[in-house]
Amino acid sequence: MAETLYESVICPSCGCLCDDIDVVVADNKVKSIRNVCQWGINKFFFTKKFTSTVKRGRVERPMVRENNLVETDYETAVSRAVDILKRSRKPLVYGLTNSGYYAQNVALDIARVLKGWFEPRKAVLLSPYYSAMENSGFYIAPLDEVRNSADVIVYWGCNPVHSTPKHLARYSLYPRGRCKERGNLDRVVFTVDVAENELVRMSRKYLLVEPGADFIAMETMIKLLRNEKVEDYEGDIAAIQDMVQYMARSAYGAIFFGLGLSRNGNAVRNVETLMALVKELNRKTRFVIIPLYDDFNTNGAMQLLLRELGSPVPADFSCDHPADHGMPTLLENLHEIDAALVVGEDPFWSMPSEQSDLLKKIPIILIDPFWTRTTNKCQVVFPTAITGVEAEGIAYRMDGLPLKLRKVLETDYPSDEVILDDIYQRLSESF
Amino acid sequence: MKIRIQGGRLYDPKNNLNGEEGDIFIEGEQIVDRTSTVDRTINVSGRAIMAGGIDIHSHVATYGLNLTRGIKCFYSPTEIGRIYAKMGYTHVNEPFMTQLTANYVHHELSSIPILDTSSFLVVNLMDIEEKIRSTKHLEEVEKALSLAVARAKAIGLKIYEPFVKYAQRKFIMRNVREKKVLKFFSSISKERIPRVIMHTYPKLLKREIENLGTYHFSHVGSVMDSEKDYEKVLTYMDGGASVDLGLFDFEENLKISTPKQTYGEICGSVDMGLSEPIIFSRGKTPEGEAPFLALKLALSEPLKRISFSTDSPVNASFQAYPKIFSWLMRAENRDNLFEKELPYFEYSLMDIARITRQNPADILGLDNKGHLGVGAEADIAIYDIDEDTRADELKDRFSDCAYLIKGGDIVIEDHEIVNDRPQKKTYYRGTELTDDEPARILTRYSTFRFENLKVDQVFTGKEVKL
């Protein structure tokens, strides 16, 4: 059986978008794969994220709900989806962080033409990050420069071992860089989180904070950097002092943060304070800050919002100015929507029950390659090719650099971009 | 479509047309001598016809610029395309693209409607520090650089820092001084690298540079702080170098600069692996000689080697071009700008066509652009302007062209944009070299594999190889 080797494939499993994956394909199946992490294996072998021996159930044909979900042809599914969206007064277009950039772009156009909402997953954390730039500025660099120069790495509210497994090896702690020729021996890691994790052994100091109260530690650090008194801090002040000392003395530092900062609904305050800390650090040395994305194209959606609407907040096209609401997420007002188009996301797994209960009351159109908890609650389900494995696309790495995703397997499933475009074309004819 | 543009006055320095009345025939994407039949005749009697404008130096896709949109500092891609089109421009060149950010820059450029695009590749000399200390490795470096330009789909090579300077002191032995770097690039073969674009910074005007015909100096107006600097720029131009102006408009602008040149409120910084980060800030131009000397240079030199630029959006946003054209064309429009007296020289429409069309096209190597001759791209701007247009009307007339034809498609008709999705192209300089391996030395410290640093057409759209 003929084998084909695809070299330097981009891995579409997390925001690292590692480009060193070599895939051997035989009989249109991945036979072996090199340089890949656990998440990448699951992506290319279609297995479950935390139990990689178990195959994920593939949605094989489009389905529409009669009494139960019944299989149908693609055209019928598109017509049903278009009917639902046309009848909707205010639909939500949601998910899209595992889709290519152009699929995201079409989804934005659908929300625009329907005067609905457009919200990428994780907007609750990332919108505050981009919004905080207004006061604190942005401090970014390609990950290459972190690897080449950073001598202090801080992980705050995230665990790269689980969310972006090759981050430590390729971009931050271990790799040798232009000015860091000994790799991890030339670097120091600090971790801040609510509980101990795998990074304890790698970190010089591991700072524990109360869930959602990261901003207290950040404010303390800002005070220390300004040589102000910090008598009222109740946590591990010695660890904070050590961290601040190292950060201020470093030649170059990088802070990576994750969803941990959004605990207890404190995302905005935490992220704003972290950005203020980075601004303060940049008065003394060079520091960059980059969010860790565990979906591979979260950054693409944020870049799209900035490019098209000039704002990082989810778009509400029912208003004249879609970004004027200024909220990091629209999902808190989920009761206002009357239909949902969900792409590559499982809201019944990821949303809190008070939100997902509201979704049960409205028709949902789902575009997803696999069966999820959401599938059975939908009116229309489209199977789709997996972007980066079975379909091409563009994805933005966590540092904002785009890469072309290749396809290594042939499939008859349409890509999410094609499905969304078909829906958009039909909607455009009606409006 | 076959179009006849009838009765306008033609301004095209390359073909020595200085307001002569004439017809232009378009067939497909090109200007032709004559067509046997015509699908559409556009009567433009008395109006000025020029080739589409070419902006040689405008930061419209620099890495980090998208973030400034979130803080309302910059235009959306659609706005950029439409504003340029209304001003009669059909091509914009992004001056800051590195190998790492090439995909990003091209993706951003491809999202700008209407305009053809190109970009300069900024190489990090740290990657070849051991090869540029002498001319011993000249050929090897030439090959690597020309391949890097072609792989990044860039139109030219730009040196942002003509030195190697490590921020961390323990690497001081790897530093390379300006003198050596400038000597190296002065020796470079014009066949492989037709022109080296230099980022102009204050210290550069203190250096003695050989073989000046190799160089183009960007936005020289930004850094001329004294008459001595001004004289130095003239010396460079006498030696054969070309320049773009870097004129100012005295408004609050988004500035992209090194930390030392920063003023105003800082919006953020981007580390591109150079000796210093690139700072984005917002503010008004501080007082100094530079704005005066920049305009003086524009008004006192033969226009052969000068291209128009404002280092947009740094010294002036591209939206301010019509205002600056009105300053150049009528002395009364610039009377109150400075206390000191500027040379009395008023640009003709031919001069404007030269610095915004012909000269930028020559520097970018775009033989089929910037003129109205047979075989040229059918990029044509038609303005309600003649040599007698009143001084106070010039700005508005340049802001709002009557017709714009882009690649044979009518984009603006009677001052209205009627088609904002004409075909657009990315121009880049190719190479005759077939083996990419020499370029590998420039990617030693990249997180990307060598093959993934080659820009794919998915980012550029339709490509034109020069």
pLDDT in tens, B26-73: 999 999 998 889 999 999 999 999 999 999 999 999 999 999 998 888
Q: Is A331 in contact with A355 (CB distance < 8 Å)?
A: yes
CA atoms in the 13 A half-sphere facing the CB of A101: 25
How many CB pairs lie under 8 A apart between chains A and B?
A: 130
Query: Is there a contact between A137 and B126 if contact means CB atoms under 8 Å apart?
Result: no
- B441 Cβ under 8 Å from any chain A Cβ: no
CA A171 to chain B, closest CA, distance in angstroms equals 7
The answer to whether the Cβ–Cβ distance between B456 and A404 falls below 8 Å is yes
Q: Provide mean pLDDT across the span B325-329.
A: 96
Mean pLDDT for chain A overall: 93
Residue A110 belongs to a domain with what CATH number? 3.40.50.740
- Provide the shortest C-alpha distance from residue B69 to chain A (in Å): 5
Assess whether the previous peptide bond of B286 is cis (omega < 30° from 0): no
Asked if A147 reaches chain B (Cβ–Cβ under 8 Å), the answer is: yes
A143 vs chain B: nearest CA distance in angstroms?
A: 7
Q: How many domains is chain A built from?
A: 3
Domain finish residue from A259, A291, A323: A291
Amino acid at A169: A
DSSP state of A52: T
Determine, for residues B459 and A404 on separate chains, whether the beta-carbon distance falls below 8 Å. yes
Pick the residue of B104, B272, B442, B447 with the most A CBs within 10 A to test the interface with A by mutation: B447
Q: Is some CB atom of chain B closer than 8 A to the CB atom of A139?
A: yes
- Compute the nearest-CA separation of B196 from chain A (Å): 25
* Residue of A177, A310, A312 lying closest to B76 (CB–CB): A310
Superfamily of domain B2-465: Metal-dependent hydrolases (3.20.20.140)
Instruction: Please give the C-alpha separations between residue B275 and each of A5, B144, B160, B278, B338, in angstroms, as whole numbers.
Output: 40, 22, 10, 10, 36
Query: What is residue B44's predicted lDDT score, i.e. its pLDDT?
Result: 94
Q: Which tokens go with B372? A: 């109205």
**Angstrom distance (rounded) from CA A98 to CA B412:** 39
- Among A291, A309, A337, the domain-final residue is A291
Average pLDDT over residues A237-258: 93
Q: What is the DSSP letter of A332?
A: G
Check CB contact of A285 with chain B, cutoff 8 Å. Answer: no
Assess A70–B contact: CB distance below 8 Å, yes or no.
Answer: no
Contact B269 A312 (CB under 8 A): no
Please judge whether A306 and B77 are an interchain contact, meaning their C-beta atoms are less than 8 angstroms apart: no
The alpha carbon of residue B67 is apart from the nearest alpha carbon of chain A, in Å, by 7
My answer on whether A142 and A282 are in the same domain is: yes
Question: Which helix or strand (DSSP H or E) is residue A87 part of?
Answer: helix A74-87
CA B209 to the chain's CA centroid: 23
B266 in contact with A, Cβ within 8 Å: yes
Q: Is B158 helix (H, G, I), strand (E, B) or coil?
A: strand
Question: In this structure, what token pair is assigned to residue A31?
Answer: 């036979």
| CB-based contacts of B135-138 (< 8 A; 24+ apart in sequence) | B135/B183, B135/B184, B135/B187, B138/B184, B138/B187, B138/B188, B138/B189
**Given CB atoms, is A311 within the 8 Å cutoff of chain B?**
yes
pLDDT given for residue B260 in this prediction: 84
From the list B171, B266, B452, the residue facing A403 with the nearest CB is: B452
Does B399 score more than 80 pLDDT? yes
Question: Is A327 in the same domain as A179?
Answer: no
Alpha-carbon distance of B76 to B112, in angstroms, equals 8
Would residue A50 count as lying in a domain?
Answer: no
Cβ–Cβ gap A8/B451 under 8 Å: yes
HSE at residue A183, side-chain half, CA atoms within 13 A, is 8
State the pLDDT at residue A325: 83
Predicted pLDDT at A291: 94
User: Nearest CA to B379 among B54, B57, B108, B78?
Assistant: B54
pLDDT of B180 higher than 80 = yes
| H or E stretch at B406 | strand B403-406
Asked if the model's pLDDT at residue A264 lies above 80, the reply is: no
Q: Is there a single domain that holds both residue A352 and residue A256? A: no
Contact B267 A133 (CB under 8 A): yes
> How far apart, in whole angstroms, are the C-alpha atoms of residue B49 and residue B12?
8
A402/B103 Cβ within 8 A: yes
Please check whether residue B102 touches A, CB under 8 A. Answer: no
Claim to verify: residue A32 and residue A157 sit in the same structural domain: no
pLDDT in tens, A98-157: 999 999 999 999 999 999 999 999 888 889 999 999 899 999 999 999 999 999 999 999
Query: Which among B118, B98, B95, B345 has a CA at the least distance from the CA of B200?
Result: B95
* Alpha carbon of A273: minimum distance to chain B alpha carbons (Å): 16
B302 pLDDT band (50/70/90 cuts)? Answer: low
Residue A208 lies in a domain: yes
**Statement to judge: residues A100 and A213 lie in one domain:** no
B427-441 pLDDT per residue, tens: 999 999 999 999 999
A199 and A95 within one domain: no
Q: Identify the closest residue of chain A to B170 by CA–CA distance.
A: A179
Contacts of B459 in chain A (CB under 8 A): 394, 402, 404
Last residue of one domain, picked from the residues A291, A317, A345: A291
Residue A10 contacts B where some CB pair is shorter than 8 Å = yes
Taking the C-alpha atoms of residue B321 and residue B247, their distance in angstroms, rounded to an integer, is 9
Is residue A305 over pLDDT 70?
Answer: yes
* Choice among A77-86, A232-241, A289-298, B404-413 with the minimum mean pLDDT: A232-241
Whether residue B273 and residue A144 make contact (CB cut-off 8 A), yes or no, is: yes
Domain enclosing residue A32, as ranges: 3-45
For residues A246 and A197, state if they share a domain: yes
Identify whether residues A346 and A375 lie together within a single domain: yes
Distances (CA, A) of A198 to A156, A162, A184, A205, B302: 13, 9, 16, 13, 68
CA distance A134 to chain B (A): 5
Interface of B with A in 276-305 (CB under 8 A): 277, 280
The mean pLDDT of A166-184, rounded to a whole number, is 93
Report pLDDT digits (tens) over B238-295: 999 999 999 999 899 999 998 888 888 899 999 999 999 999 999 988 778 999 999 9
Q: Do A151 and A184 fall into the same domain?
A: yes
Q: What is the CATH number of the domain that holds A204?
A: 3.40.228.10
Domain ranges of chain B: 2-465
B64 touches chain A (CB under 8 A): yes
Nearest to B67 among A8, A133, A145 (CB): A133
Please say if the pLDDT value at position B88 is more than 80.
Answer: yes
Within-domain flag for A114: yes
CB contact under 8 Å between A19 and B448, yes or no, is yes
Q: Do residue A332 and residue A221 come from a single domain?
A: no
Determine contact: B268 vs chain A, CB below 8 A: yes
Inter-chain residue contact B268 with A137, CB threshold 8 Å? yes
Interface-testing mutation among A271, A304, A308, A401, with chain B (most B C-beta atoms within 10 A): A401
Give the minimum alpha-carbon distance from A368 to chain B in angstroms, rounded to a whole number: 24
The whole-number average pLDDT for the span A237-260 is 93
Which element (helix H / strand E) includes B127?
A: none
> What pTM did the predictor assign?
0.96
For residue A98, what are the CA distances in angstroms to A125, A295, A299?
Answer: 17, 6, 10
Q: How far is B396 from chain A (nearest CA, A)?
A: 27
Do both A34 and A174 map to the same domain? no
Q: Do B103 and A311 touch (CB under 8 A)?
A: no
Residue B306 tokens, joined: 């000068």
Q: Looking at the partner chain, which of B67, B171, B446 has a beta carbon nearest the beta carbon of A138?
A: B67
Q: Do B269 and A282 touch (CB under 8 A)?
A: yes
Judge whether B258 is closer than 8 Å to chain A, CB to CB: no
Tell me the shortest Cα–Cα distance from B300 to chain A, in angstroms: 40
A-chain residues within 8 Å CB-CB of B166? 179
Contact state of B451 with A307 under an 8 Å Cβ cutoff? no
Judge whether B376 and B166 are in contact, CB under 8 Å. no
**Chain-chain contact of B447 with A171 (C-beta, under 8 angstroms):** yes
Nearest to B41 by CA among B52, B26, B20, B21: B26
B456 at A interface, C-beta within 8 A: yes
Quote the tokens at residue A191. Answer: 């971790």
Q: Is B264 on the interface with A (CB under 8 A)?
A: no
Look at residue A57 and tell me if it is in a domain.
no
Q: Report chain B residues whose CB lies below 8 A from the CB of A105.
A: none
Share of chain B above pLDDT 90, in %: 86
Contacts of B272 in chain A (CB under 8 A): 141-142, 145
Nearest residue on chain B to A7, alpha-carbon basis:
B451
Output the CA torsion A167→A170→A174→A175 (10° steps).
Answer: -160
* Nearest chain B residue (CA) to A18: B448
**One domain, residues A150 and A169:** yes
Per-residue pLDDT averaged across B173-188, rounded? 92
Token duo for residue B26: 């378009």
Residues across chain A? 431
